[in-house]
Amino acid sequence: MTARGLVFAIFALIAIATAVSAVVAVAAAVGGTGSWGTACYASLKSVIASAFLVLIAIRPDARKRSRDPVAFIACALAITPGFLLQPPSGAAATGWNVIGGEAVTVAGGLWMVLSVVFLGRCFGVLPEARGLVTRGPYRLVRHPLYLGELTAFSGLVIASPTVVNILAAVLFAAGQATRMRLEERALAAEFPEYHVYASRTPRLIPRRRPIGANPVAAGGTPAVGVHTATGR
């Protein structure tokens, strides 16, 4: 099996697993044994996983393959913590933190869906440059999909702030921070105009942009938007 085929098979399994989880979560919410917040996020997660699967199938080849061991470790750090998360249990399952955490998680999920729509075929699993994206959320931050993932993960930890979940969040954040750094290095190497985009667009936290401002210099090529997938 080729590397591309292996990645597709992995994400096919993830898409199936998230779809099953979404069905179970929705059924629990309808039956009164689960929350609609959890059901909404599970459904969004299933949509995102399915979108990742389609994008892997139709995306173009990267301009330059990534073989950096650090990149593979960072991807593992970003994927594994999602499977370690512990759901709310006992009396805490009905507390304010669960309601607030679910709201934050759903908001992060919606932002992820929007980011995937604009990212399109530039999606990648490793830090590899495939295309130029500055539209939509990429006008606000350089890594909107990471922002959505970090927001959603934070909501899950707020809903269930156990020691295991907090440690998982630390690992997840470390993996994502490393991936952002590696992606920016790859983009800068392939697209000289990326430096202009990066100098005018914040990495992760949106800030107010002057009216009429453009993320690239006048007459320049739009800067690159590339993202690495996670298995959540």
pLDDT tens digit sequence for 179-202: 999 889 888 888 888 888 888 999
DSSP 8-class letter at 134: -
CATH 1.20.120.1630 fits 63-228, yes or no: yes
Tokens representing 9? 């098979």
Handedness of CA 213, 187, 49, 158 (dihedral sign): negative
Reduced DSSP (H G I as helix, E B as strand, rest coil) percent helix, strand, coil of the chain, to 5: 65, 5, 30
Domain boundaries, the chain: 63-228
Sign for the CA dihedral angle at 54, 56, 57, 59 comes to positive
In tens, the pLDDT along 7-42 reads 788 888 988 999 999 999 899 889 988 888 888 888
Q: Which amino acid is at 148?
A: G
| pLDDT 10s digits, 34-91 | 888 888 888 988 888 888 888 877 776 766 676 778 888 888 888 888 888 887 765 5
Q: Is 230 left (phi over 0), alpha (psi -120 to 50) or beta?
A: beta
How many Å apart are CA 77 and CA 70, to the nearest integer? 10
**How far apart (Å, rounded) are the C-alpha atoms in residues 100 and 103?**
5
